[in-house]
Structure 1
Amino acid sequence: MIKYTNVTNVKEFMIIGFPELPPEYYGMVSFFLFLVFTAILFGNVFILAVIICEHNLHKPTYVIFFNLAMTDLLFGTVTLPKIIARYWWNDMMCSFGACFAQMYFVHSLGVIQSLILLMMALDRFVAIRFPFRYVVLFTNKNISISCGLCWVLTFILMMGIVLHALTLPYCDRNTIRQCYCDHNSITNLGCGDDVAYVKWVAFANAMVTLLAPLIFIIISYFSIIMAVRKMSVPERHHKVLSTCAPQIFITCLYFVPRCIVYLTDSLGIKFSLNARIIITMMYSLIPPAINPVIYCLKTMEIKTALTQRFSNRKINLAPQSDKTQNVKSFA
């Protein structure tokens, strides 16, 4: 019978990434992850700058978009540099404290993103079903306070989850078969009799923070679709659905792969380790990289703001070029 001590011997964790990846593909994978990180960084910074600079976008909907872009930017910054360094420079080691810090921000930002997506759904639900109440309920002040509470309360909640994981002793094993430190990967390395309980508490928390927003989001969009079907004007159908389509797509990108992972675990369906890691990376990194493109291509007010900005710049540059030509001709 194995006896575990209550003393943590592990000082560093080794992040493996994709365990079955041949070394000849390390360079290609690191370059691809670098491109994803670049897309997340520049895309979301661009969206943040557009929303800040364009006064026409200082509306409740875009306050929500701003917070979603912030979570996407932070999530990519927290997770990708380390796994890129692992494949670029073979830097696999991560200190004990840094790994737990990464776990804290990974799960905190995941919960915040779920809540922000819920707010996006409620924003469209109230705007379409109760348009006269929308201007009262959804003000910039109310949405800013709600988003702030999402951040603060989530960080407090996840601090408890992380501290609970820290109560476990980590005796000998330190290999994380994942691309970043998450709760499941770390607690799998714990020893002692409390590992199962710590994992169960975290799983219950994950189910609440994932399924509760998802249920409300499904109800909201279902109600919107039913309301659209009752509209007598076809043009209104297209306008309402085109407004909601980007948000529905973003929500599906975020929730569907997560639900697949959780449901297959519950049903006892086993993926290969690499397949599970790929699915995890898909729902972690594809939405942050794709969201800015969706905002720019599918959100009419952002497209209009950008079009006006560039057209005004062309108009301002045209007189300067004419003056230059006149000076040359005079000379």
Structure 2
Amino acid sequence: MAPVNHSDVLEFILIGFPGLPEKFYSLVSISFFLIYNVSLYVNLIVVVLLLLSRHLHQPMYVIIGNLSVSDLLFDTLTLPKIISKYWLGDGSLSYTACFIQLFFVHYLGTLDAYIFMVMAIDRYIAICKPLRYHSIISNRLVAIICLVLWIFVAAMVLLVIAPGLMLPFRGTNRVKSCFCSFDAVTVLSYVDTASSRRTRYLIAMMSHLCPLSFIVYSYVIIIQKICSSSRTENWRKAFYTCTTHWLFIGLYFIPRLAIYAYNQLQLNPDNDLSVFLICLYTFAPHFTSPIIFCLRTEQIRRTLSKVLKWNIIYHKY
């Protein structure tokens, strides 16, 4: 449902990096363009491979497929507009389009945290209870869990941002960010939004700290299990995998939680550093997660190699 506009603002203008000199606009637009294309093609390759290859229809890849779809949607709904702003000078979004983007930014960003939680639980069962794995985890169960998460997170985010849909705006419509987000937009209202900002801050922290707690617990148990086992080649491989997963999870959660706390302490965090950190924790995981979680695995590499060889032979003859 479109937001009810109780104001004279008909559109919002994305500012991007507030203090960025104009001579760097081309560099920023090219950077975002490359990020979007890498994320688009890497995630698309993962989704297509998982859909077409029956031997990849396994619980872990079902989870990764949901993550790739979420990241594809997020980048497609945000990056083209900020690229247009820096490349063509068109950073305007209609009132309705801005709030639609706002919803999906928080929806898909929060959804990723819960998908990571399911992924960590799956790895915990696979490593710590390998003999019972297939009796506990199945494709159907994982698909149902992911579907429930898509619905649950959508309802939760809609409830959180609903007060923002009713806010009146007048005069100021310049969003000091690379996309419409709750804090960047609601701060433009001429009414006091401190109470709604505090409520959103608490809910945002809880909605990320809860899955992070499960993730931390799962990987701590996994690492204990690995360290107590014999140090074979599988031990080193499992430990390396956990380390790379930890680096990725840290990249996703730490800057995000830091910005949430910073936004609560400062009314209008519109400096270039905060915008950069938001872009870092938002877009960097989208093109690195398929590489870390999927394209590094032997089954995916073997399948991709077969597809490429078949494609070469097909075009040759």
Same fold (TM over 0.5): yes
Shift of 1:232: 2.3
SS in 2 for 1:178: coil
Label 1:171 to 1:309 Cα distance change in 2 as closer, same or farther (>3 A): closer
Tell me the distance in 1 between the aligned counterparts of 2:134 and 2:43: 27
Tell me the distance in 2 between the aligned counterparts of 1:208 and 1:255: 12
SS in 2 for 1:113: helix
Does the alignment pair 1:229 with 2:227?
A: yes
Which of 277, 280, 296 aligns to 1:279? It is 277
Count residues with an aligned counterpart: 312
Q: Could you tell me whether the CA contact under 8 Å between 1:100 and 1:162 is conserved in 2?
A: no
Shift of 1:149: 0.7
Label 1:181 to 1:287 Cα distance change in 2 as closer, same or farther (>3 A): same
Unaligned runs of 5+ in 2: none
Label 1:142 to 1:297 Cα distance change in 2 as closer, same or farther (>3 A): closer
Tell me the distance in 1 between the aligned counterparts of 2:191 and 2:308: 62
Shift of 1:296: 5.2
Counterparts of 1:103-122 in structure 2, within 5 Å, are 103-122=102-121
How high is the sequence identity, in percent, across the aligned residues?
34
Larger radius of gyration: 1
Does the alignment pair 1:84 with 2:89?
A: no
Shift of 1:209: 1.1
| Equivalent position of 2:99 in the other structure | 100
Q: Deviations over 1:260-305 (max 9, x none)?
A: 323555677x987001101110111111122233345522221222
Counterparts of 1:12-91 in structure 2, within 5 Å, are 12-91=11-90
| Equivalent position of 1:253 in the other structure | 251
Counterparts of 1:1-331 in structure 2, within 5 Å, are 7-193=6-192, 195-264=193-262, 273-295=271-293, 297-310=295-308
Q: Could you tell me whether the CA contact under 8 Å between 1:295 and 1:302 is conserved in 2?
A: no
Code of the aligned partner of 2:101: Q
SS in 1 for 2:191: coil
Q: Could you tell me whether the CA contact under 8 Å between 1:246 and 1:299 is conserved in 2?
A: no
Shift of 1:134: 1.7
SS in 1 for 2:12: strand
Q: Could you tell me whether the CA contact under 8 Å between 2:64 and 2:294 is conserved in 1?
A: no
Tell me the distance in 2 between the aligned counterparts of 1:183 and 1:47: 31
Q: Could you tell me whether the CA contact under 8 Å between 1:120 and 1:247 is conserved in 2?
A: no
Shift of 1:242: 4.0
Compute the RMSD of aligned alpha carbons.
2.4
Label 1:238 to 1:119 Cα distance change in 2 as closer, same or farther (>3 A): same
SS in 1 for 2:13: strand
Shift of 1:46: 0.7
Deviates more, 1:124-133 or 1:41-50: 124-133
Tell me the distance in 2 between the aligned counterparts of 1:245 and 1:303: 20
Q: Could you tell me whether the CA contact under 8 Å between 2:178 and 2:275 is conserved in 1?
A: yes
Tell me the distance in 1 between the aligned counterparts of 2:7 and 2:270: 30
Label 1:172 to 1:272 Cα distance change in 2 as closer, same or farther (>3 A): closer
Code of the aligned partner of 2:246: I
Label 1:203 to 1:244 Cα distance change in 2 as closer, same or farther (>3 A): same
Code of the aligned partner of 1:217: I
Give the structure-2-normalised TM-score: 0.91
Shift of 1:138: 1.1
Q: Could you tell me whether the CA contact under 8 Å between 1:79 and 1:102 is conserved in 2?
A: yes
SS in 2 for 1:67: helix
Label 1:28 to 1:233 Cα distance change in 2 as closer, same or farther (>3 A): closer
SS in 2 for 1:165: helix
Label 1:184 to 1:272 Cα distance change in 2 as closer, same or farther (>3 A): closer
SS in 1 for 2:201: helix
